Structure 1
Amino acid sequence: MSSSNTVSQVIRCKAAVAWEAGKPLVIEEVEVAPPQAMEVHLKILFTSLYDTNVYFWEAKGQTPLFPRIFAHEAGRIFESVGEGVTYLKPGDHVLPVFIGECKECWHCKSEEIYMCDLLRINTDLGVMLNDGKSRFSINGQPICHFVGTSAFSEYTVVHVSCVAKINPAALLDKVCVLICGISTGLGATLSVAKPRKGSTVATFGLGAVGLAKFGVTEFVSPKDHDKPVQEVIAEMTGGGVDRSVECTGSINAIISAFECVHDGWGIAVLVGVPNNDDAFKTHPMNILNEMTLNGTFFGNYKPRSDLPSVVERYMNKELEVEKFITHEVPFSEINKAFEYMLKGDGLRCIIHKDA
């Protein structure tokens, strides 16, 4: 369907709908409403399943919303726009991001921090900001969005500030995995932890986020020791690491990641999302001894401004993205991707549109 006839018309397409928590997704024909002001229609070519999607699909997140169309790592072709959109044109290659960059708020204008006031991540929001309604429906029943992207659909509607225009030469079935995990891990290290050359860095969790640090030289399993792993790491490094990055969301791992950094200058960066009822506890002397805990969403990257440069790093062979892709399935077999993830059989499964 071309952009010329998608601007003001409802699109009927296939989408993988989660009707209930933890139940297999169902391929349905959905109606996708036209984009409104500052919204865009995107045609999805490739999607990657990320473990965050499994977390919310299992209803372990904040507010379970069903029925819902999940997924937020995708490579897409820009189709059409709503009123007020000027910097994109039909045919542009884009990556949608679960947080936006309005370029107008104090956070977006800041050179030091990033968390867009208008479009920061909201896992409880299943509708569009413009009118508080969903753009997806089946026979009149609204289907909830997921973090503003909903990539498990052949077409979707996204706020324009959540769309990064990228090099059209980049392979969409590869760079789609840069949207969340890899960029988050990379940015958490380079932009937030900021280790100096020769620094020691401990990474907690070896999923896509943790492995995005690259260059691991030692592996430590807490199961191999009869004392807290932070004590083991401190002994290995002569008092603690210079930097640590926590990528699991486990409250015990968060505590370990903080307590394993060196006093005086050590910085721990929290990336993993903990459960609602978790509480972080450490002795106040750790704070007084100048051990620092920072947090980050998306590695402190501004999506529209910074994500294109991450894609260029891949294009320049600085990022080994292909090593993260362990499986591929057609859209019609999307539940296989969930099976791979639940069994721990792979890192990223690329889901491609059926021929």
Structure 2
Amino acid sequence: MATSGKVIRCRAAVAWGPNQPLVVEEIEVAPPMAHEVRIKIVATALCHSDLHVLKGEMLTVTFPTVLGHEAAGIVESVGSGVTNVKPGDKVIPLFMRQCGECRFCLHPESNFCVKNRHEVLPRLTCKGQNLMQFIGMSTFSEYTVVDDISVVKISDAAPLNRVCLLGCGISTGYGAAINTAKVVRPGSTCAVFGLGAVGLAAVMGCKAAGATRIIAVDINKDKFEKVKVFGATDFVNPKDHSKPIHEVLVEMTEGGVDFSLECVGNPELIKSAFESCVRSFGVSVVVGYTQEDMSIKPVTFLTGRTWKGSVFGGYKGMESIPKLVDEYLSKKLKLDEFVSHTLPLDRVNEAIDLLTQGKSIRTVLEMSTPQ
């Protein structure tokens, strides 16, 4: 491409500090160095993790920064040594790297990597200042640079303004049910706490895995009709009950659910999800993010329940994301139903307000004409 090897000037939504509106600025994006890939971002979605940064809840993130990590785009140029993608490829950048060589990458049940990192030294600058890249991504920019071990080629037929959702939220919830909870027993009963995009995806994963009864738990009664689209059979609003929600679920299921997934990141809900599981063989998965302290009595584990955590749905991105794209293209996986709003980059703060107020599932920011 004509821009190869040159600095690209483009627009990006810059977070100059916590608890401040994002500002769409002109920034400079340096050419990729060895084992780096420069991507033209076509579409990116807003995730709650981005909000955690803006609220100052992720202490590892420094400002100014460019947020965004749920995206899809087209490779503009590559640095030396890059062999997995080439200019013109449709790609999804991955916040969970996969070097393919470390102990974690080689383990069949791990999707961590020793080369994962929260930020990288900048390839982005604005007004003479370096912009830190959130988890090595920064997709709220028309162009960005990522490591070659954190980008994967996908089908040329994929609509980028839909498959961008597989970069985080949908994969996270869907995989938490299939890969982490391992909802495989025929006739299983599941409970999903929290019906944001991740929770809806978890419901979809429970359904795909063959669960017979899927109980959706949320305080917003308006979400019931939506969650039925993804496979929920029951809806429970904690506000409708005088007793703790885990007691309600235990009574509903004759002793507790087989699997529970907490998709909010609320310490009390995490405990409720665990206690809603049936004794002896129940499995509870923590999917929601929180840095708050919580306590649970060790004796609770003597009942035989299992407590697990999940990041990115347990998926090894390089291997799994192209397959999920293909599942969407073959209509085996829902994505369109998650997109509640589509906005241009310069309305990013409106997208933030929609998510903060609970008025959106996923807002996709389109940088250019959908491809």
Confirm or deny a common fold (TM above 0.5): yes
Deviations 1:284-337 (A, max 9, x none): 222111111011110110001111111111111112211110111112222211
Q: Matched residues in 2 for 1:34 and 1:175: separation?
A: 26
Q: Matched residues in 1 for 2:296 and 2:33: separation?
A: 48
Q: Matched residues in 1 for 2:290 and 2:129: separation?
A: 32
Deviations 1:239-275 (A, max 9, x none): 1110111110000011011111111100001111112
State how many pairs are aligned.
341
Q: SS at the partner of 1:340?
A: helix
Letter in 2 for 1:162: S
Note if contact 2:110-2:316 (Cα within 8 Å) is conserved in structure 1: no
Q: Matched residues in 2 for 1:285 and 1:58: separation?
A: 36
Q: SS at the partner of 1:103?
A: coil
Corresponding residue for residue 215 of structure 2: none
Task: Kindly report the root-mean-square deviation, in angstroms, between the aligned alpha carbons of the 2 structures.
Answer: 1.3
Asked if 1:93 corresponds to 2:90, the answer is yes
Report matched runs for 1:81-160 at 5 Å.
81-119=78-116, 122-123=117-118, 125=119, 127=120, 133-160=121-148
Asked if 1:19 corresponds to 2:16, the answer is yes
Q: SS at the partner of 1:5?
A: coil
Corresponding residue for residue 321 of structure 1: 335
Corresponding residue for residue 278 of structure 1: 293
Bigger drift between 163-172 and 224-233 goes to 224-233
Note if contact 1:331-1:354 (Cα within 8 Å) is conserved in structure 2: no
Q: Matched residues in 1 for 2:353 and 2:297: separation?
A: 41
Asked if 1:244 corresponds to 2:260, the answer is yes
Q: Matched residues in 1 for 2:127 and 2:196: separation?
A: 39
Q: Matched residues in 1 for 2:70 and 2:82: separation?
A: 22
Q: Matched residues in 2 for 1:224 and 1:203: separation?
A: 17
Report matched runs for 1:172-321 at 5 Å.
172-195=160-183, 196-212=185-201, 213-214=203-204, 215-275=231-291, 277-279=292-294, 281-321=295-335
Corresponding residue for residue 130 of structure 1: none
Q: Matched residues in 1 for 2:101 and 2:95: separation?
A: 18
Asked if 1:75 corresponds to 2:72, the answer is yes
- Given candidates 316, 340, 344, the residue that maps to 2:358 is 344
Q: Matched residues in 2 for 1:254 and 1:58: separation?
A: 22
Letter in 2 for 1:55: H
Question: Any unmatched runs of 5+ in structure 1?
Answer: 128-132
* 1:64 shift after superposition: 4.6
Q: SS at the partner of 1:150?
A: coil
Letter in 2 for 1:173: N
Q: In percent, how many aligned pairs have the same letter?
A: 45
Q: Matched residues in 1 for 2:290 and 2:3: separation?
A: 44
Corresponding residue for residue 29 of structure 1: 26
TM-score (norm 1): 0.93
- Given candidates 158, 173, 176, the residue that maps to 1:170 is 158
Q: SS at the partner of 2:31?
A: coil
Q: SS at the partner of 1:286?
A: helix
TM-score (norm 2): 0.89
Q: Matched residues in 1 for 2:32 and 2:162: separation?
A: 27
Q: Matched residues in 2 for 1:112 and 1:326: separation?
A: 33
Note if contact 1:332-1:354 (Cα within 8 Å) is conserved in structure 2: no
Corresponding residue for residue 5 of structure 1: 3
The structure carrying a bigger strand percent of its residues is: 2
Note if contact 2:61-2:134 (Cα within 8 Å) is conserved in structure 1: no
